[in-house]
Amino acid sequence: MPGAISSLPSNSLTAARATEITFASDWPFEVTPDWAWRGSTGSGVRVCILDSGIERGHPLIGGVERAVAIELDDDSEIRIVDDQDGDLFGHGTAVGGIVRSLAPDAGIASVRVLGARNRGSGEVMLAGLRWAIEHDYDVINMSLSTSRRELLAALHELTDSAYFRRSVVIAAAHNMAVDSYPWRFSSVFSVGSHEQSDPMCFYYNPAPPVEFYARGLDVEVAWQGGGTLRASGNSFAAAHISAIAALVLAKHPELTPFELKSVMRLTAANTTGARH
């Protein structure tokens, strides 16, 4: 696999720089689940969850490294504040719990973009995503989308900038017949649900925009009040892919989003013929 490219982006390649980006001669070698994530706990990887917040001190999640809320004030201006409310719905807690269960040592941050003082507006989602990209999270999990066309250019720019900065954006596909984004953008990992119960089992879909299917059906998830319940939805599938991405990046921090997607293509259940 390629080594880290630390220099600034360049649109042309000098002879001197060509040697800097030469990849190891033993590549490509066989990319297997063992190579990709076996033994990884997600240590050193930072995952940011854009959702309804995460319940403080939930026994299945423990501490989060940061929790902020994106709010609209009375003049509809965006404010970014420390999150005092936790999770009013339970959903963000469920997503956080899935990431914690598979990647126990990954750092988790919560950006609340759905809740009492933001109404889940497209502008709030954009501000949350911008905050996560600016804070250089390795994995950004999004369970929401917008279909407001006037926001598409800004959202497209944001997901592209995440891609260039090596922040992997993982978005739940909308399973309704609506044109919503960012899950339809090729710069993100778009995730739908399969019906298997193995949390590490995922499939690559050769017919995008949904590129991966992961566990999203009948998942025991963390919920409000320190408890759990069984729930289904593409957002839980996205959380599984976020966790697996964190495991891979912890072992192979040099991977770009393009390379990570390729690794996941090569280690998917429908490639290896095995469930993990």
Q: Please give the residue ranges that form the binding site for other proteins (CB under 8 A).
A: 52, 88-91, 114-116, 119-120, 122, 143-148, 172, 174-178, 180, 193-195, 216-218, 223-225, 227-235
> 140-152 burial string, b = 16+ CB within 10 Å, else e?
bbbbbbbeeeebb
User: From CA 239, how far away is CA 172, in angstroms rounded?
Assistant: 8
Query: What minimum distance in Å lies between the beta carbon of 135 and other proteins?
Result: 23
Is 162 exposed, middle or buried, given 0-12, 13-18 or 19+ CB atoms closer than 10 A?
buried
Query: What minimum distance in Å lies between the beta carbon of 104 and other proteins?
Result: 23
> 198-208 burial string, b = 16+ CB within 10 Å, else e?
ebbbbbbbeee
Query: What minimum distance in Å lies between the beta carbon of 275 and other proteins?
Result: 17
| For other proteins, the closer CB: 132 or 144 | 144
User: From CA 72, how far away is CA 74, in angstroms rounded?
Assistant: 7
Is 99 exposed, middle or buried, given 0-12, 13-18 or 19+ CB atoms closer than 10 A?
buried
| For other proteins, the closer CB: 163 or 236 | 236
| For other proteins, the closer CB: 228 or 256 | 228
| For other proteins, the closer CB: 48 or 124 | 124
Query: What minimum distance in Å lies between the beta carbon of 78 and other proteins?
Result: 17
Query: What minimum distance in Å lies between the beta carbon of 174 and other proteins?
Result: 7
| For other proteins, the closer CB: 10 or 175 | 175
